[in-house]
Amino acid sequence: MIHYNLSQKVAIITGGLGGIGQAAALAFANEYAKVIIWDLDAEKGKKAEYDIRINSGGKSIKFMLVDITNLEQVEAATEAVNELYGSIDILINNAGITRDASLQKMTTEQWQQVIDVNLTGVFNCTKFISPYMIKQKFGRIINTSSIVGLQGNYGQSNYVATKAGVVGLTKVWARELGPKGITVNAVAPGFIATGMIATVPQKFLDAAIARTPLGRVGTPKDVANAYLFLASKHAAFINGVTLRVDGGMVI
Ligand SMILES: NC(=O)c1ccc[n+]([C@@H]2O[C@H](COP(=O)([O-])OP(=O)(O)OC[C@H]3O[C@@H](n4cnc5c(N)ncnc54)[C@H](O)[C@@H]3O)[C@@H](O)[C@H]2O)c1
């Protein structure tokens, strides 16, 4: 087993109560990072804090109620994390939503909701957290794209626009923040077994598995492992890439 040892590193994981986010929170806690989850459900947050603390043998985990679409909340929470921990080293822009419909059926509201979370939320968090990383001349930012952001997908104009947008933002920020000691990379998961794909009809999942050389959907841990690697010192010279975690579905 690889040990990344993120000891003393402070890591914010947005959407950390979801399938991938919670696996990432546990994986980062197990590597001794001080993990802070930003998500929307206080009750679920308390339970996740408890579960992750138990499952990681008592390591550092904290939940904060933060809606990443809300600029004031993001700014206040960023200041609170810095006050509590004295630095912010890792940002995993993992929160994301879908509101699927084909072009003609997609409402303006569905369009806007997805843009607000998946794109503006990523902008908000990175805008407010990166100055702390710049000050300490170190940071790791990992954005969550999707393979559909690379190849498109029926019924996902809004989602695909944001996930392709995240690839673009990753390249811009890799250029802007690289000279300041911060790497910015993206992960593009394929189909991962979380609540997000619970509504995908089985025949689509079967078709996706048939197109995947490794012959299965991914697990949240598969994606968490990619986050860990990109956040670690082993990825020190990797900047501006989008790493697919899809079993080879898109090659
Ligand atoms: N599951 C997949 O197959 C898959 C594939 C490709 C990419 N992704 C991406 O991976 C990321 C994680 O997805 P998941 O499968 O764990 O989804 P999930 O639905 O299980 O978790 C997403 C989390 O984001 C949180 N969230 C939503 N809006 C928020 C907001 N405004 N502020 C703070 N938190 C908010 C939700 O409450 C939820 O806990 C997303 O960006 C998703 O687009 C997932």
Q: How far apart are the first and last CA of the chain?
A: 27
Tell me what pLDDT residue 199 has.
85
- With the C-alpha atoms ordered 43, 226, 100, 204, is the resulting torsion angle positive or negative? negative
* Index of the ligand 1 atom closest to the CA of residue 116: 31
Residue 1's pLDDT is: 64
Q: What string of DSSP letters covers 150-219?
A: HH--TTBHHHHHHHHHHHHHHHHHHHHHGGGTEEEEEEEE-SBSSGGGTTS-HHHHHHHHHT-TT-S-B-
Cα–Cα dist 153/229, whole Å: 28
The CA-atom distances, in angstroms, between 74 and each of 28, 85, 144, 176 are 21, 16, 18, 21
The answer, yes or no, to whether any atom of ligand 1 lies below 6 A from the CB of 192, is yes
Note whether 201 and 158 are within 8 A (CB).
no
Give the active site residue among 4, 85, 132, 159.
159
Q: How far is CA 122 from CA 27, 93, 166, 200, 251, in A?
A: 22, 6, 8, 25, 26
If you measure from the C-alpha of residue 223 to the centroid of ligand 1, how many angstroms do you get, rounded to a whole number? 12
pLDDT tens-place values along the chain, 251 residues long: 678 999 999 999 999 999 999 999 999 999 999 999 999 999 999 999 999 999 999 999 999 999 999 999 999 999 999 999 999 999 999 999 999 999 999 999 999 999 999 999 999 999 999 999 999 999 999 999 999 999 999 999 999 999 999 999 999 999 999 999 999 999 999 999 999 988 888 999 999 999 999 999 999 999 999 999 999 999 999 999 999 999 999 99
- Do residues 127 and 77 make contact, with C-beta atoms less than 8 angstroms apart? no
The CB of 124 under 6 Å from ligand 1? The reply is no
- Tell how far the Cα of 20 is from the centroid of ligand 1, in angstroms: 7
CA angle 125-11-124, nearest 5°?
A: 0
Query: pTM to 2 decimals?
Result: 0.98
- Cβ proximity of 133 and 184 under 8 Å: no
* Sign of the alpha-carbon dihedral angle for 23, 211, 157, 124: positive
Residue 16 CB less than 6 A away from ligand 1: no
Question: CB of 17 closer than 6 A to ligand 1?
Answer: yes
Q: Whose CA is nearest to atom 2 of ligand 1?
A: 192
Atom of ligand 1 nearest to the CA of 148: 6
- In 82-178 the beta strands, taken as DSSP E runs, fall at 90-93, 139-144
pLDDT confidence of residue 3: 84
Q: What is the CATH number of domain 10-241?
A: 3.40.50.720
